[in-house]
Structure 1
């Protein structure tokens, strides 16, 4: 048995106004807002035999937003004053292990 999770970020499910969709698409590295199928495809893969070796992962379905070290609208660092590397859970674990702080 495996346990994984999908973190669906801006996805067009009917709750955003057209203006919000356009603003979000403008700051998303892929240049568009997600659609439900963008979240369903990785779930299908993780549930298949091909995804059977993947376990305990959080997969961000966010069009690249999570990979940005700066805030997409202002281009300022997400965590001003923080010299810790940005990234995912693994970066936070490495920082914690080394005695540093994660911001």
Structure 2
């Protein structure tokens, strides 16, 4: 992602926070953006959705949290592996 993607990324983060019943501030959005900036925006957005879907929906506490950057990176790895990307493993 680059700086031009920040508005769309912010919209996605607000959408995800709304889904889990939370609010998210600009500081947290910036932290996520910086940690995930090495990936394309569309991949990060897909990964956020995948991370939410992969959770145990019976766990009421977990269902109210925004996915961590670790959960998002795990989802990115899974998406890249499905697409046959050579660098599918993220450390």
TM-score scaled by length of structure 2: 0.32
Higher strand share: 1
TM-score scaled by length of structure 1: 0.30
Higher helix share: 2
Which structure has the larger Rg over C-alpha atoms?
1
